[in-house]
Chain A
Amino acid sequence: MDKLLNKQFSTIIGIMIVVAVIISFKNSSFHIPGNQEDYQPTQPIAFSHQLHAGEMEIACQYCHFGAEDSKHAGIPPANVCMNCHKFVNNTFNETRRADLENRKPVFSKEIKKIYASLGLDLDGIKVNDEIPTEWVKVHNVPDFVFFSHKPHITAGVDCAKCHGDVQTMTQVKQVEDLSMGWCLDCHRQEHDSIQSATGRTAYLQDCASCHY
């Protein structure tokens, strides 16, 4: 092949490869191993945060009440669901239609699952054994990372800072990469809000803040 052509050809190929690599890093679902950004598993009950946290404006910690005082924010126990779903068991439209048609409203398929997990029939009578619901954890950190919600809630960190706009998600998705560098992006900033009565809090860059 002509020498000149050869040279141009290889240059073009080279540029194309570099561009391809950059694009695949930037815009594709490719992540380095361990990074679960964009993880969006299907849950056993199609619970919509968009509906509950978004439309109904239920506060995060109403259900995830562990966050304030525990390591885990926690997945709400079924009894918390039942606080409302004892009464609410179908959509607003269905209630109205049933009312008009003078029939009992049809139970929502998903709410049925809560009843079933508690071993209740649709009238709330205990008929079966309980079967706990196995939710799929979306936000995972490795076992060697100690993450506790408690100090973050105390420090007034907004839930959305790490979990994204959950109130717009019908199915929860991990929006941040949860990498160590990402954690440090925050931990490196001055947290005026944390300068509470306890005086200066730890330098948040200490390894033992998370690894022990």
Chain B
Amino acid sequence: MADHQTSIREPQIHGNKNLNDVTNEVCNIMDRKPTWLWWLGITLSLSALTLGIVSVSYQIATGIGTWGLNKTVGWAFDITNFVFWVGIGHAGTLISAILFLFRQKWRTSINRSAEAMTIFAVMCAGLFPIIHMGRPWLAYWMFPYPNFRGPLWINFRSPLAWDVFAIGTYLIISATFWYFGMIPDLATVRDRAKNKIKKFIFGALSLGWNGSYRVWHRYETVYALLAGLATPLVVSVHTVVSFDFATSSIPGWHTTTFPPYFVAGAVFSGFAMVLTLMIIARKTLKLEEYITLNHIENMTKVIIVTGGIVTASYATEFFIAWYSGNGFEQFVFLNRALGPFAWAYWIMVGCNLITPQFFWFRSIRRNVIIVFILSIFVNIGMWFERFVIIVTSLHRDFLPSAWSMYAPTWVEIGTLIGSFGLFFTLFLLFIRTMPMISMGEVKSVLHFRGKGKET
């Protein structure tokens, strides 16, 4: 790690900062009064969240009938949102765990907020399997626990039971990973806090971290192990989510390519969401020196790759349908492209196939506004991908007598908006209360030689 490296590669962090600058600038985000933009954001998010709470309360009090589902289409917005949010979550783990294992130093400025995003997204996702139940107050029956019913356990053959374990493990391990990675930073906040309450809270949260190198040494091992565990975990989670469909009997769901297809799709949408959030954050929180154009460019490259995989998956599905010689399978894909829900299919294709192609151009990759807009298109496209998979496969399956259509009610739309409200509320609160950039890790990539101003 010599000096000359910086002259060849662009530095990870701009602005020629010293260690104290990093501490001050990151902690200042929490210390200073929130900007009007933050207030605007939190107002919008809380309004959306309120709408969501009203919708969900009404639905739980009245019944699933307040959704537009019917006897043929038993899932629509609920599981679409679930898969969408799980997918969003994947980018965070990917950035913090996989890029860590690959020693990608550029991850340091975004991994903390990406992980936070993961946790919030998984929380949003986890909400849907609960509220989509007819009797959500009995959701605890999904867990195997000793009981007086015989005992009656759970069905370990059910992909939904797998989901419980996958999402549960994912949430626990992600949260652990996030919190564990944050401990040194919490200590930093504690040590510079003037306020007694703040000192107490962060003192408790930092678990007595004192910067001891002997602890650092083990800490690094544990961190690496967690990263190593989170990497297969993140792959497994979306694989399990895809099993909800892949292990079923419905044409359009019963597809063996789903696991890689879903994982790629998840990373695709996740990175798009990270981009959306980071572009907003760097603008509003003035973090251009931490989250540089390089970061944005790197992420768009990931989007090109995963977008390519997703495109290939779409093609594979059609090819296999044709190649299988199974009429039902062929019908489902023809119905997707040309049937009553063709509009949703073409929105999906438009957003997911065409959008990433713009990122082949460096000028676009480095144009923050265009990247921001395109990232939103990817998110829309990926939401529709799940909608198309779920609804178009169900609405016309085997027996024509049971065919039906689906249209959402305002309760479902309110719930979707509410989930965004929850997500952004949590995220906005996070950036105000926790160090949103991993100071410890950023400092380690500064290569600071102490030549800067004395502090």
Bind each other: yes
Residues of A in contact with B (beta carbons under 8 Å apart): 32, 35, 177, 179-182, 184
Q: Give chain B residues whose Cβ lies under 8 Å from the Cβ of A179.
A: 148-149
Q: How far is the CA of A32 from the CA of B148 in the complex (A)?
A: 9
Q: How far is the CA of A179 from the CA of B148 in the complex (A)?
A: 6
Closest B residue to A35 by CB, please name it.
Answer: B148
A51: shortest Cβ distance to chain B, in Å?
Answer: 34
A203: shortest Cβ distance to chain B, in Å?
Answer: 14
> How many residues of chain B get a CB closer than 8 Å to chain A's CBs?
6
A180: shortest Cβ distance to chain B, in Å?
Answer: 4
Q: How far is the CA of A182 from the CA of B147 in the complex (A)?
A: 11
Main SS of chain B's interface residues? Answer: loop
A143: shortest Cβ distance to chain B, in Å?
Answer: 16
Query: Contact flags (1/0) for B54-97 with A, using CB distance below 8 Å?
Result: 00000000000000000000000000000000000000000000
Q: How many A-B residue pairs have CB under 8 A?
A: 16
B156: shortest Cβ distance to chain A, in Å?
Answer: 18
Closest 5 CB pairs between A and B? A179-B148, A180-B149, A184-B150, A181-B148, A181-B150
Q: How far is the CA of A182 from the CA of B150 in the complex (A)?
A: 7
Residues of B148-164 at the interface with A, using a CB-CB cut-off of 8 Å, are 148-152
Query: Contact flags (1/0) for B135-172 with A, using CB distance below 8 Å?
Result: 00000000000011111100000000000000000000
Q: How far is the CA of A180 from the CA of B150 in the complex (A)?
A: 6
Among B149, B150, B151, B152, max chain A CB count under 10 A is at B150
Q: How far is the CA of A35 from the CA of B149 in the complex (A)?
A: 12
A125: shortest Cβ distance to chain B, in Å?
Answer: 53
Q: Give chain B residues whose Cβ lies under 8 Å from the Cβ of A35.
A: 148
Known: A180-B149, A181-B151. 6 other contacts (CB 8 A): A35-B148, A179-B149, A180-B148, A180-B152, A181-B149, A181-B150
Q: How far is the CA of A75 from the CA of B310 in the complex (A)?
A: 69
A154: shortest Cβ distance to chain B, in Å?
Answer: 24
Q: Give chain A residues whose Cβ lies under 8 Å from the Cβ of B152.
A: 180
Closest A residue to B152 by CB, please name it.
Answer: A180
Q: Give chain A residues whose Cβ lies under 8 Å from the Cβ of B148.
A: 32, 35, 177, 179-182
What would be 11 A-B contacts, judged by CB atoms less than 8 Å apart? A35-B148, A179-B148, A180-B148, A180-B149, A180-B152, A181-B147, A181-B148, A181-B149, A181-B150, A181-B151, A182-B148
Q: How far is the CA of A177 from the CA of B150 in the complex (A)?
A: 13
Closest B residue to A184 by CB, please name it.
Answer: B150
Q: Give chain A residues whose Cβ lies under 8 Å from the Cβ of B150.
A: 180-181, 184
Q: How far is the CA of A179 from the CA of B149 in the complex (A)?
A: 7
Closest A residue to B147 by CB, please name it.
Answer: A181
A98: shortest Cβ distance to chain B, in Å?
Answer: 53
Query: Contact flags (1/0) for B249-286 with A, using CB distance below 8 Å?
Result: 00000000000000000000000000000000000000
A4: shortest Cβ distance to chain B, in Å?
Answer: 19
Q: How far is the CA of A184 from the CA of B151 in the complex (A)?
A: 9
Q: How far is the CA of A177 from the CA of B148 in the complex (A)?
A: 10
Closest B residue to A188 by CB, please name it.
Answer: B150
Q: Give chain B residues whose Cβ lies under 8 Å from the Cβ of A32.
A: 148
Q: How far is the CA of A66 from the CA of B151 in the complex (A)?
A: 32
Q: How far is the CA of A144 from the CA of B149 in the complex (A)?
A: 14
Q: How far is the CA of A180 from the CA of B151 in the complex (A)?
A: 8
Q: Give chain B residues whose Cβ lies under 8 Å from the Cβ of A181.
A: 147-151
Q: Give chain A residues whose Cβ lies under 8 Å from the Cβ of B149.
A: 179-181
Closest B residue to A32 by CB, please name it.
Answer: B148
Q: How far is the CA of A69 from the CA of B229 in the complex (A)?
A: 62
Q: How far is the CA of A180 from the CA of B152 in the complex (A)?
A: 9
B104: shortest Cβ distance to chain A, in Å?
Answer: 44
A52: shortest Cβ distance to chain B, in Å?
Answer: 33
Q: How far is the CA of A51 from the CA of B188 in the complex (A)?
A: 80
